[in-house]
Every structure is written in structure tokens, then in C-alpha cells.
Amino acid sequence: MCGIAGIFAQAGGAPPQRVELERAISALAHRGPDGHGFYQQGMVGLAHARLSIIDLAGGAQPIHNEDETVWVVFNGEIFNYVELREFLQTQGHRFYTHSDTEVLVHLYEHYGLDFAHHLNGQFALALWDQNQQQLILCRDRAGILPLFYAVQNGRVVFASEIKAVLPVIGGIPALNPAALDQVMTFWSTLGDTTMFEGVRQVLPGEMLIAFDGGIRKQRYWDWRYPSDDDYHGTSVEQQAEELRALLSDATRIRLRADVPVGAYLSGGLDSSVLATLIRANGITPETYSIRFNDAQLDEGVHQQRMAEHLGVQHHQVQCSEAAIGREFPRAIWHTETPILRNAPVPMMLLSGLVHARGAKVVLTGEGADEVLGGYDIFKEAKLRRFWARNPKSLWRPLLLKRLYPYLEFNPARAQSYSEAFFGTGLDQPNATFFAHLPRWSTTAQSKQFYAAEFKARLNTDPLALLEQSLPRDYAQWHSFNRAQYVEAKVLMANYLLWSQGDRMLMANSVEGRFPFLDQRVIEFAARIHPNLKMKVLNEKFLLKHAFINQLPASIVSRSKQPYRAPDIPAFFHDGVALDYVDALLADDVIKRYGYFDAQKTGFLLKKIRAGRAIGYKDNMALVAILSTQMWHHLFVENRNYSEFIRS
């Protein structure tokens, strides 16, 4: 992956200057350490920071067509570029590189705005059509790669990260209150909203066309599910075989690179399947995983067992609480958004290990839970609907205790807490967001720390905004598919692939590839009946069935253990806070920034120092407040994260 940036001056806008392009692309040096490239002509300027993966010698960007009327800067990979190139050559197109990027300009020449339909890849691109005088910004279907833009003073400014947009649009950045409120509800912003006022993102599966008279948006892809019983009619064995074949090919084409390709190995089902498929393609990858000191969080035994089964060279990064606290400021600089848990930080440390080993590309199992039904939230919804049929039952809610055997402090441990948590929305089992209401209600309790003045600025309901964005036929889908859609569009696209994915990989100039998010796999899985995604309470049933003979039984049969990382313990040791925690959460700083109530925050800190803050709500509140304060310090006050880092 790489970094892109650029400026398009519409009517009345100032033409781009080279110094602006250089300033923007220099902010993305971590995304593309292997070189910079520029195109500047009249009202458009394009810039590119390169991470060399394919055609190391000849793939420098921007890249153009034969007569130099179409130019592109591109972040990502087109995995079917070999097949596309062969087709385009039969149509008379002439290539001057061997890169996947050049396919884009010729594909656009051939298909016009329909070119994106033919791409199998992960991408964020900007394409300039000189003849039509239009700039096209386009993002991949699942939202693996980011693309942001701002419209100001007759100019469209875009980049792979917001930190490259800011120096061009100028001024002091301001926090978008609605965006923070969305993060405090869903863990992520909604739609094209970002934490920065005036900066938006191109949506997954969306194309933005900018021309002299304005901007037009069009969606070329979205997650779709059957509105009736139009599911795959073949047998379980046939569907398992088809899933196996699709994942095998999705993995095969994601091994295309002119550099070695490794794999993340968490010890869970998804990464084990991918590592197995890589081996089946004749490659023995080096594998990488995270270890924790806390036995509740650590999956090292399973990781090692799978590595030995595959016969691969396995590498581990030991993520101590001290390391997470030390690297937290850097992680927030890369995420460009507040977070509610520390999970992104170890992912950044893991990509650092990959980089230190000299690798540039890793395959990861992200997306399997959304595509094939792996989350506990899907199980919860199933049990809660069963409970809702007899709300007064004493034994039905007890079934929820079976979901969290790996947690010492779990939401089903205490009966009263269980009923309060899982009972949220129980009287409305057909509600639009029934599956998610317990989680969102718990997350939203962090809003009690808002400053009164900040709370008064909020004038939108996050749930109402999300409901307005749903497809017209959403209500006709199976309840399981509705929950999948929300997970894919909200948490996956705007948190998992952002804060835990692209940003933590690119922080160390590492490209991640995601076979489970191949659109062929997504579209096939959408037509699998929900009963084959979760058979009773057995998650990802069809995936397990497809690979049961290729994986150790202990991997297939083990209960899913969601990835988690230490939160409060990363910032407090024996009740003593890290220096930057005390600095950013001091009463005067809390009041000056204006987002949170200093007295309530002080009570939380007192509780933590006394060792009485051990629950989810306290952990989320602390990380949410601290990361928001850190966000303000880094971006609004324009400070450098390195001032906080101590070895």
C-alpha cells in the first residue's frame, strides 16, 4: 500500500502549487517510504508516496495512458491485474510498466466510470481525466483503504490520511461534536463523517466525481442479502466446497507480489485457514502473532500449535502493559480518531515486528466474522430472542453464561448484571438494531462524562442517523443478516479496518491483505442461509465444515476468543499514572479542551487509583476520555506524539 494526495481547483479555486503537494505527501512518508512522485497540470495536482510491492523498478506513480490524457495515483493492490492486463492488451491497449496500477488507466479508457466493477482488490485511487476535466476518487468495496477529502474555497483536497489534508486547507482543526458522539455510541463514526470539521471520507464502494460545476457521488457496490428465501439451494457439502474454492483463489491472487508475503497467526480459526491456504499454494510463509502477559488475553499456546502444524517460522511480539502505554500516543496520531479500547496499539507493535523482519506484506483473517457469522453478538441476539418469548423465565437468561467462558469478569457472571445488560431492548425483539442495543447502550454510558457545554452542542441522534442510512429493503432481511450488515458497515469499515487495520499496518509501512473480504467471498456468503453461518450456537459453521480435515481438531473446536488488550493497566501502575495521563487529564486541561466534565473525570481517576475500576464501563470511559484528549493535543494543538514516548 501507499499514500496519495492531490488538489483539484474548480471554478474560482486557486491552482495547486508544488509546495502544497510536497507538504501533503510528506505527511504520508510512513505509508510510502520508497519514493515520491508528482503530476501537476493546470487545475489539478497529484502526489504519491510509494511502498514498492509490484514492479519494483518500473511502477513509480503517477501513471498515465498512451497519450497522457488519463493519470492516476493509487493506494492498494489490484489482485486480478494479470487477467485484466491480458484482456486489455487484446483490445489494443499498450502498457509501459508491469505494475497493477497501469491497468487502472486503460480499464477506465475501456469502460469509463464502470471500470470499478471489474476490479478485484483493495484500493483508494484518484484518476484525472484531462479530456473530460474531471477528477474521480474511488474506494474499494469493503473500505479496506482510506480516502479523505475536503471542499474549500473552490478546491477539492484529498489524501489517504487526514493529516495530509490539513496542511493544504490550513487553519486550526476543530473537533466535530457529532462525530465524537458517534464514537461514544458505536466505537466509530458513521458514513462519511470524520472527527475533523469539514473533512469527509469517500465511502466504501463509492465513487466521487468532481468537475468544474460541482461533485457527484455514485455507489457501485454494497453488502446485499436476500429479501426472501433465495439462499443457495445446494447441499452443505457443495457449499463447503464452493467456499473452499473461493477462499483458495482469493488467497492465491493475494500472494501476487515481488516481495515475500507473510501472515498473521492469532491461533484462531480464520488466520489458521489462511495460513493453511498459503501453504496449499506452495508458499511457506513466516507468521506473526501477539502475546500478552495476562493469561486471559494470551493465545500463545494455540498460535504455537498451529505454527508447528504448518511447519512455518513463527515470530511473536510480547505486548507488555508498559509498551502499550508507551506507544498509545503514536497510535492515536495514526488513527486520527479517539478509541474506546487499547486493541489497536498491540496491532501497531505487531506490524513493527513484521517491518523489523524485513517484510512488507501480510495476509490477515479480518472480515471472516462479519462475512461468515463469527461474533458473539450474533449468538447473544439469538439467545435474547429466545428469552424475549418468555421474558419472565428464570432459566432462559442463564443460557447467556455459556457465551463467555474465557472471561474472568464477564457480563453474564452476575445474574443481575446479566439481566440488565442483555435485557436491553428485550421488549422489542423486532427492533431495527435489536442485536446491537446492549453493546451500544453500555458504550454510550461513557457520555455521562461529557461537559455540560459540550453536551448542549449535540443536536443529532446517532441511532436515527444510522437508521436513515440503511438500505430500503433492510427490514425484509433475516435478522441475522441485518446484524451482519451493521457490523460490516459500522464497526468493521470505520473501526476494525481503520483503527486496528490500515492505520496500524501503515504506521510501520506494512501492507495487509484480506482474503475473506474478496467480493466473491462476500457475495457468496451473503446467500448462505444464516443457519449455516451459525448452527445453533456454533459460529462460522460452514467455514469449519469446509476446513475440518485440514486443521488441527483443537483449532476447529475451540471456543472463539475475541482479541482484546489491557486498558487501564497500561496507564496506571500501582495506582500511579503515566506522566502524560496526569497531564492530559488534569482539571485545567480537561476544562480548556471542553469535551468532558473535570469533576466526573476526577472521580473516575480516583476510583482507578484505588484499584476499584475493573469493569468494562470504567475501562472504556478512561480510554475514550484519554484518547480524545490526546487527539486534541496532537491535532488541534499541533503537538508531536514523540514528546510522550519514553524508552
Q: What is the pLDDT of residue 563?
A: 87
Q: Comparing C-alpha atoms, which of 365, 402, 381 is closest to residue 543?
A: 365
Phi, psi of 62, deg, nearest 5: -65, 155
Render pLDDT for 450-509 as a digit per residue (tens, 0 to 9): 999 999 999 999 999 999 999 999 999 999 999 999 999 999 999 999 999 999 999 999
Q: Which of 385, 80, 370 is nearest to 249 (CA)?
A: 80
User: Mean pLDDT across the stretch 16-22?
Assistant: 96
How confident is the model over 422-457, as pLDDT tens digits? 777 777 888 899 899 989 998 999 999 999 999 999
pTM above 0.85, yes or no: yes
pLDDT of residue 10: 94
C-alpha cell of residue 521: 467471498
Grid cell for residue 417: 448484571
To the nearest whole percent, how much of the chain has pLDDT over 70? Answer: 93
Look at residue 32 in the predicted model and tell me its pLDDT.
Answer: 84
Distant-in-sequence contacts of 633-637, Cβ < 8 A, 24+ apart: 633/584, 634/329, 634/332, 634/333, 635/163, 635/166, 635/173, 635/196, 635/336, 636/172, 636/173, 636/174, 636/175
Q: What average pLDDT does this structure show over 597-608?
A: 97
Query: So where are the chain's domains?
Result: 3-219, 223-647
Out of 3.30.360.10, 3.40.50.300, 3.60.20.10, 2.40.170.20, the CATH code matching 3-219 is 3.60.20.10
CA distance linking residue 37 with residue 97, whole number of Å: 15
Write down the pLDDT at residue 450: 98
Which of 23-27, 231-235, 261-265, 348-352 shows the lowest mean pLDDT across its residues? 231-235
Q: Domain spanning 223-647 has what CATH number? A: 3.40.50.620
Lowest mean pLDDT among 56-70, 163-177, 243-257, 458-472: 56-70
Contact 311, 288 (CB under 8 A): no
What are the contacts of 597-605 at 24+ separation with CB within 8 A? 597/449, 597/450, 597/451, 597/452, 598/451, 600/448, 600/449, 601/449, 601/625, 604/449, 605/577
In this predicted structure, what is the pLDDT of residue 456?
96
Residue 55's pLDDT is what?
54
Check whether 182 has a pLDDT greater than 50: yes
Q: What is the pLDDT of residue 363?
A: 97
Residue type, 549: N
Least confident of 143-157, 389-403, 540-554: 389-403
Kindly compute the dihedral angle of the four CA atoms of residues 351, 354, 356, 361, in this order, to the nearest 10 degrees.
-110
Query: What pLDDT sits at residue 1?
Result: 61
The pLDDT score that the predictor gives to residue 420 is: 66
Share of the chain above pLDDT 90, in %: 78
Q: Tell me the mean pLDDT in the region 254-260.
A: 89
| Residue 159's pLDDT band (cuts 50, 70, 90) | very high
For residue 533, give the nearest of 384, 404, 402, 368 by alpha carbon: 368
Pairing of strands 287-292, 261-264: parallel
SS3 110: helix
Q: What is the pLDDT of residues 354-372, one digit of tens each?
A: 999 999 999 999 999 999 9
Residue 233, pLDDT score: 84
pLDDT in tens, 546-586: 999 999 998 998 877 788 899 999 999 988 999 999 999 99
Amino acid at 200: R
Question: What pLDDT does 647 receive?
Answer: 39
How do residues 191-232 score in pLDDT, each as one tens digit? 999 999 999 999 999 999 999 989 999 999 999 999 877 888
pLDDT for 409: 44
